[in-house]
Structure 1
Amino acid sequence: MILTKTETQYLIEELTRHLSAQRDGGNKNLICRCPYCGKEGKFGIYIGKESQRKRQFMSHCFSCGRSNQTLGRLLEDIGRMDLAVTQTIDLEAELNPELLFPLEQDDEIDDSLGIVELPDFYRRTFSHPYLKNRGFSMDDYEYFPVGTTKGLNRRFDDYVIFPVIDEGDTVGYVARHIWSKDEIDSYNRKAKIRGEYQIRRFNNSTQNDFIKLLYNYDAVIEDETDTVIIVEGIFDVVALTRKLELYDSREIAVVATFGKKISNVQIYKLQSKGVKTVVLGYDGDAVEAIKQTASELASYFDVLIADIADPTKDWQDLTRAEIFEIFAHRLKTPLEYKLTKIQQR
């Protein structure tokens, strides 16, 4: 049964009171004394957003191991069947258009993800010469987990590894070689002649398709984050968050699509959290990709385009003053952006 937000909030409040529970730091679980074994602080009830792996009100004790997969079983075991929700007809509810125009099988959104293990010997780092050269600050290390394998995993020697987090789970990782693109290309040309191993600029996870992932997705708070800035890559997310001081913002977040296009799954993931406005912030040289992506987004959100005047620069290259100038004076609607680019030809 699908619960309304009002019903969900009421159940959370009643369970909190009845079990003398407290929310955890991530605001995704109620923590209390186990009703089965009596151990304090060992019983958790999940109250976060539902996903393929987690359902609201499923519960587990980390002492005795007792688990419940359904709300009904939990209420029965704690003697609160009076809280069981009976499904009724909501006469004021909007008609679901899918009842009139059902989706074809090929149009269904599959946003299921599996949990991914980070490379062997991965350890988080809070200082790295390559990241320092990319402008990383202490706040960046705190908000954007990154690590290395400390030379203990040959496959990932000379890589920095960024976990991709979705609803608290690691669902992928991006491993970026610490050499520049020019250095890698130069080495690979010589290695090819010698018949030696060539370096990959990126050595990413393969278990989940990246068209289902958004970097920094958990910074988008359901029904609180109104505006999301969409960029291409991880370093763009970090740079914009730092320069716009968005670390603790609940209203605005920056996410990356891992390239110059957006998928239906990524659009759905933003919709599901109640995002209203998106600002498309792809690099200034991606004019046609920006036009295409803006057109795809316009059916679901209010769309603005952050027009970077210099096509040779990205968010990492721009100063804080230049970025504020773009957001103050160079945000354009898709139509304004198209007209501007026509005039510049």
Structure 2
Amino acid sequence: MAHCFSCGASTRTLEQLLELIGRMDLMVTPTTDIVTPLENRLLIPLEHIEIDDELIGAELPDFYKRTFLHPYLQERGFIFDDYEYFPVGTTGKLNLRYADYVIFPVIDKGVTVGHAARHTWPKTDIDRYNRKVKCSGGYKILRYRNSTDNDFSKLLYNYDAIREGATDTVILTEGIIDAIALTRKLELYDNPYISVVATFGKKISDVQIFKLQSKGIGTVVIGYDGDAVETIKRTSERLKPYFDVFIADIANAGKDWDEMSEKEIYETFAYRLMTPIEYKLKKVQERCRENS
């Protein structure tokens, strides 16, 4: 029997408890033979999984020039060290396709393999403009304009910051701005043991897992947005067979890392760093409180 004194939820059987926390894979059924030893061949994958991590070099947009000062980035908290460690540039009006974007090169083993461009207008202004052109005709503004040379499921932003043989821990974020913000606020620029990388979204691919493994990473901290509860659960399950996994549970689900203060970030990693099972149980408790 299990009972939560916080929310009052109770379970009376092992099956009920495992179902509640989403771990029915731990259930031993009456038909399971737990006496006969497993044959070694059952522990070996039947098929060898090929990981296609091959990348090609990519050109940055025409007229791209690196910048060390930009109003949009200043508003996002960029300081000199950010410009120094994370190359970013613009094309200006010379390339109308990228005229109002900041462009972040994606570098892998010293080679530019793509770029991620972010429009500098606020999201509300972009949405307002797109509603107008939908009625009057015209081209919509894309918030993000990324390269197509390589599939982004094969890329990790800031991958070269991971030092093989030294870096043990990586913090995963969804986007570039969050990765840079965490590096700045945790002062990880020259830290050889911990790096922050972005997965370009809430999912992680086999190739990205392989790339982390190939650098000798032992611990992964998932730092995705606080409102992505189910995605975080799935991602943690994907990572568990390969790494020691922790989840940085952001107290205010509506905030991104770049919107949080240094104090809020340190408190997250000091008091709200959880194992996947702790994270699941906490979210069950929160759901019970909301429904009570």
The normalised TM-score by structure 1 is: 0.70
Aligned position for 2:29: none
How is 1:185-204 mapped onto 2 (pairs within 5 angstroms)? 185-204=127-146
Aligned position for 2:229: 287
Q: What number of residue pairs does the alignment pair up?
A: 246
Residue of structure 1 aligned with 2:98, choices 156, 161, 166? 156
| 2:159 is the alignment partner of 1:227 | no
Q: Measure how far apart 1:103 and its partner are.
A: 3.1
Determine the C-alpha separation between the residues in 2 that align with 1:101 and 1:201.
Answer: 42
Residue of structure 2 aligned with 1:103, choices 43, 47, 68? 47
Aligned position for 1:85: none
Determine the C-alpha separation between the residues in 1 that align with 2:82 and 2:46.
Answer: 44
Aligned position for 2:30: none
Determine the C-alpha separation between the residues in 2 that align with 1:314 and 1:229.
Answer: 14
Alpha-carbon displacement from aligned partner over 1:208-253 (angstroms, at most 9, x marks no partner):
0000000000000111100000010000011000000000010000
Aligned position for 2:15: none
Letter of the 1:297 partner, please give it.
Answer: L
Aligned position for 1:255: 197
Aligned position for 1:304: 246
Aligned position for 2:282: 340
Letter of the 2:62 partner, please give it.
Answer: D
Structure 1 unmatched ranges of 5 or more: 1-96
How is 1:135-154 mapped onto 2 (pairs within 5 angstroms)? 135-154=77-96
Determine the C-alpha separation between the residues in 1 that align with 2:137 and 2:260.
Answer: 40
Aligned position for 1:166: 108
Percent sequence identity is 66
Aligned position for 2:68: 126
Determine the C-alpha separation between the residues in 2 that align with 1:264 and 1:182.
Answer: 35
Aligned position for 1:41: none
Determine the C-alpha separation between the residues in 1 that align with 2:99 and 2:45.
Answer: 52
Q: Measure how far apart 1:150 and its partner are.
A: 2.0
Determine the C-alpha separation between the residues in 2 that align with 1:154 and 1:309.
Answer: 41
Q: What SS is found at the alignment partner of 2:166?
A: coil
| 2:134 is the alignment partner of 1:213 | no
* Cα RMSD after superposing both structures: 1.3
The normalised TM-score by structure 2 is: 0.82
Q: Measure how far apart 1:101 and its partner are.
A: 4.3
Aligned position for 1:275: 217
Alpha-carbon displacement from aligned partner over 1:76-119 (angstroms, at most 9, x marks no partner):
xxxxxxxxxxxxxxxxxxxxx9xx64634xx3100000000000
Letter of the 1:242 partner, please give it.
Answer: R
| 2:183 is the alignment partner of 1:241 | yes
Q: What SS is found at the alignment partner of 2:156?
A: coil
Determine the C-alpha separation between the residues in 2 that align with 1:234 and 1:219.
Answer: 14
Alpha-carbon displacement from aligned partner over 1:170-205 (angstroms, at most 9, x marks no partner):
001001010111111100000111111111111110
Structure 2 unmatched ranges of 5 or more: 1-40, 288-292
Alpha-carbon displacement from aligned partner over 1:42-99 (angstroms, at most 9, x marks no partner):
xxxxxxxxxxxxxxxxxxxxxxxxxxxxxxxxxxxxxxxxxxxxxxxxxxxxxxx9xx
Aligned position for 1:91: none
Runs (4+) of structure 1 moved beyond 2 Å?
A: 100-104
Determine the C-alpha separation between the residues in 2 that align with 1:131 and 1:317.
Answer: 13
Determine the C-alpha separation between the residues in 2 that align with 1:156 and 1:121.
Answer: 10
Determine the C-alpha separation between the residues in 2 that align with 1:130 and 1:154.
Answer: 18
Aligned position for 1:17: none
Q: What SS is found at the alignment partner of 2:265?
A: helix
Q: What SS is found at the alignment partner of 2:116?
A: strand
Determine the C-alpha separation between the residues in 2 that align with 1:299 and 1:330.
Answer: 22
Which structure has the bigger radius of gyration? 1
Aligned position for 1:4: none
Letter of the 2:267 partner, please give it.
Answer: E
Letter of the 1:103 partner, please give it.
Answer: E
Select the structure with the greater relative contact order (CA < 8 A; seq sep ≥ 6). Answer: 2
Q: Would you tell me which structure has more helix in proportion to its own residues?
A: 2
Letter of the 2:189 partner, please give it.
Answer: Y
